Structure 1
Amino acid sequence: MKYPLLLLAVAFSLLSSCNSTPDPEHEGMVWIEGGTYRVGNEGSEAKNVEGPVYEVEVDGFWMDETEVTNAQFRAFVEATGYKTVAERPVDWEEIKKQLPPNTPRPPDSILQPGSLIFEPAQAANLYDLSQWWKWELGADWKHPHGPNSSIEGKDQHPVVHIAFEDAQAYANWAGKSLPTEAQWEIAALGGNGPSDFAWGNELTPEGEYLANYFQGTFPDGNSAADGYSTTAPVKSFPPNDYGLYDMIGNVWEWTSDWYRPDTHRSNKALAKVRGCVNPNGPSQSYDPNDPLVPKRVTKGGSFLCSSEYCSNYRPSARMATAFDSGQEHLGFRCVSK
């Protein structure tokens, strides 16, 4: 009789720890076990701000299995009447805090609600973002490419043009929070150690596209070899080993951490002294390339990440994004305890 009881105990243990059977409170979420993980990247694809590799200890947490969709965000807006940053009147007094002193005030025709859309031209200089980004009046989550566009038929696409406070507002309404950078990266790795890509060290194993990113000549020659030239419906690509979809590509995702280029170096030093436990980022932002603008860390890359430019379709990749930014390739997902 010992063996049936032992088998029953093992089966119960496996059932209890299964990532794919959340309780009703966490429907649509995946459980990530607490433990010690290695994050960061010093591989050939990594940029300086992604290293060094260090050990971090985190408590277990739930994470949304997909990016927040248009349908989910609409439910929030209909329940609360919330207006996103991209839909609100523009406050020049706030904007000028992020600009050099004595910057002239733009005309009122420019200081109108809107957001950044991708409008590519043939690029002569890949360091000049103005060749493909355009401030578009009337661009917002309901009109992702400007006032004449819509999200009709795109309920399962990730919501975009979401500023940090918009993502926070949704998370609070849903009884959740935004992930820390450490939580996000651990979840993206899917239980595997640091690697160049979420699925290993080869971008297209056996020629298969495993995420929605840019193929072709950036920025105006998108071949859409992966099937999508802009956002894809969530779950269009295989999940990682935790059962999480689109952790890489599709849209950038907000984390709760302030951005600094030296965060990983600081965390590794901390880990050596007393362990790095549940880190939640630095106390304030600093981007040496744009020091006046407070920025949060965004992760995962988007449908605009290309091998020719911004090849940030990797778990360790980290972008500094202005806290009040809304963009056509920027969304989020949530976590819960």
Structure 2
Amino acid sequence: MRPNLKAVFTLFSLSILLFSCKEDRKSEPILVVKEVQKPVFSDYHEQYLREISYIDTREDSSSTHGMTRIHGGTYEMGGDNETAKKDEFPKHKESIKDIWVDNTEVTNAQFREFVNETGYVTTAERSFEIKGEKYQPGALVFDPYNPEWWWKFVKGANWQHPTGPDSDIIGKKDHPVVQVSWYDAMAYAKWAGKRLPTEAEYEYFNRAGNDTLIYHWGNDFERATEMVNFYQGNFPRRNLAEDNFGKTAPVQSFPANAYGLYETSGNVWEWCLDTYHPDAYSRTREKVEGYFQDFINMEQQKVIRGGSFLCSETYCSGYRNAARMSSAPDTGLEHTGFRCVKDI
């Protein structure tokens, strides 16, 4: 499910006060993205990427434990059925190289290891300032009873307290980490010696060798409760939880897809490398190194893929193979996490 991005960006994306995850500064880093025409928030964006570049890669970064090697190929990317949205067209060919992919979404336990080793502070744990007024750390939490905005900013919400200071992740070490921004995901990937997948890679390994299927398990939606964590019932106020999960599920709770990857659909949306463009499939020639590196779209959005526990067949059906959404890169949300890939 997609939050109202104008509200999200206005509230949370202007000028977060940056704190370093490390005090010792080394040589000037190489920026992660290519410099292009600079938008209003380019300085903020580049400062964050500079901070990430200082993170030391962990010693065992060459390991592919917990990953599956996916053989590359060419496939048809884009919308498959009448529920596909305008930004999923035109359907077009994409070619993917061999790649290692995390079998699961990054878990709370894995993210804690990263934080403990690096001292990294997530965006939701940092103070921020809007037009000279300072705000306490926090993130966005789903509120189904607010008729105007479904997402509200909650002070004290972060990856350790997903819905606010009174919540926690005790007993949830194998659940996907949430309330992590695109920058947080990029920081973890840097430490792990990996990267985020491109949008084209994500759809490729989600489809798992069949570019004609609507869902990763086939075209039969009746099997959904067996295959994916999503919202059943009268969205957004009555979740029947027929799949046994009202919110996040532990990783590997549902059958793997044909490539052996778990929860590539449902559970939580997953960050991708790409800058989001609604007409991306009509401008593929503008990609650099296989994805949109520029940072110039209206709300500075990045692509999220795979759908979440808040996706409903009557609303967004984000667990479809072709479904694509977006969110501001500094925004934490209780239904968004990530997984990493590794080049061969």
Cα displacement string for residues 213-245 of structure 1 (whole angstroms, at most 9, x for unaligned residues): 000011110000111000000000000000000
Q: Which of 95, 112, 127 is the equivalent residue of 2:136?
A: 112
Partner of 2:307: 301
In the alignment, the residues of structure 1 paired with residue 255 and residue 333 of structure 2 have an alpha-carbon distance, to the nearest angstrom, of 25
Partner of 1:92: 130
Partner of 1:97: none
- The answer to whether the aligner puts 1:214 opposite 2:225 as a matched pair is no
SS of the aligned residue for 1:91 comes to: strand
Q: Which of 250, 264, 279 is the equivalent residue of 2:290?
A: 279
Partner of 2:21: none
In the alignment, the residues of structure 1 paired with residue 258 and residue 122 of structure 2 have an alpha-carbon distance, to the nearest angstrom, of 34
Contact 1:305–1:312 at 8 Å: present in 2 too? yes
Contact 1:285–1:296 at 8 Å: present in 2 too? no
SS of the aligned residue for 2:204 comes to: helix
In the alignment, the residues of structure 1 paired with residue 225 and residue 170 of structure 2 have an alpha-carbon distance, to the nearest angstrom, of 30
Partner of 2:321: 315
Contact 2:175–2:248 at 8 Å: present in 1 too? yes
Contact 1:212–1:226 at 8 Å: present in 2 too? yes
| Partner amino acid, structure 2, of 1:145 | T
| Partner amino acid, structure 2, of 1:334 | C
Q: CA deviation at 1:122?
A: 7.3
Which one is further off, 235-244 or 311-320? 311-320
Q: CA deviation at 1:281?
A: 2.0
Cα displacement string for residues 154-204 of structure 1 (whole angstroms, at most 9, x for unaligned residues): 000000001111000000000000000011110100111132211222222
Contact 1:42–1:51 at 8 Å: present in 2 too? no
In the alignment, the residues of structure 2 paired with residue 242 and residue 162 of structure 1 have an alpha-carbon distance, to the nearest angstrom, of 26
Partner of 2:279: 262
- Output the TM-score relative to the length of structure 2: 0.78
Contact 1:41–1:194 at 8 Å: present in 2 too? no
SS of the aligned residue for 1:182 comes to: helix
Q: Considering only aligned residues, what root-mean-square deviation do their CA atoms show, in Å? A: 2.0
In the alignment, the residues of structure 2 paired with residue 84 and residue 180 of structure 1 have an alpha-carbon distance, to the nearest angstrom, of 22
Structure 2 gap segments, 5+ residues each: 1-60
Contact 1:58–1:277 at 8 Å: present in 2 too? no
Q: Which of 52, 57, 64 is the equivalent residue of 1:26?
A: 64
Q: CA deviation at 1:208?
A: 4.7
Question: Greater CA radius of gyration, 1 or 2?
Answer: 1
In the alignment, the residues of structure 2 paired with residue 64 and residue 88 of structure 1 have an alpha-carbon distance, to the nearest angstrom, of 28
| 1:40-79 matches, cutoff 5 A | 40-79=78-117
In the alignment, the residues of structure 2 paired with residue 181 and residue 309 of structure 1 have an alpha-carbon distance, to the nearest angstrom, of 22
Q: CA deviation at 1:142?
A: 0.2
- The answer to whether the aligner puts 1:164 opposite 2:182 as a matched pair is yes
| Partner amino acid, structure 2, of 1:48 | K
SS of the aligned residue for 1:303 comes to: coil
Contact 1:56–1:277 at 8 Å: present in 2 too? no
Contact 2:144–2:237 at 8 Å: present in 1 too? yes
In the alignment, the residues of structure 2 paired with residue 166 and residue 29 of structure 1 have an alpha-carbon distance, to the nearest angstrom, of 20
Cα displacement string for residues 28-54 of structure 1 (whole angstroms, at most 9, x for unaligned residues): 001111221221114212101011211
Cα displacement string for residues 64-113 of structure 1 (whole angstroms, at most 9, x for unaligned residues): 000000000000000011100000111325xxxxxxxxxxx66x5xx211
CA 1:230 to 1:189, structure 2 compared with 1: closer, same or farther past 3 Å? same
Structure 1 gap segments, 5+ residues each: 1-22, 94-104
Contact 1:115–1:139 at 8 Å: present in 2 too? yes
| Partner amino acid, structure 2, of 1:195 | L
Which one is further off, 194-203 or 111-120? 194-203
Partner of 1:253: 270
Partner of 2:9: none
Q: CA deviation at 1:282?
A: 5.5
Q: CA deviation at 1:283?
A: 2.5
- Output the TM-score relative to the length of structure 1: 0.80
In the alignment, the residues of structure 2 paired with residue 309 and residue 180 of structure 1 have an alpha-carbon distance, to the nearest angstrom, of 25
Percent identity between matched residues is 47
Partner of 1:196: 214
Partner of 1:14: none
Partner of 2:249: 232
**Count of matched residue pairs:** 283
Contact 1:66–1:333 at 8 Å: present in 2 too? yes
Q: CA deviation at 1:212?
A: 0.3
CA 1:217 to 1:266, structure 2 compared with 1: closer, same or farther past 3 Å? same
| Partner amino acid, structure 2, of 1:77 | V
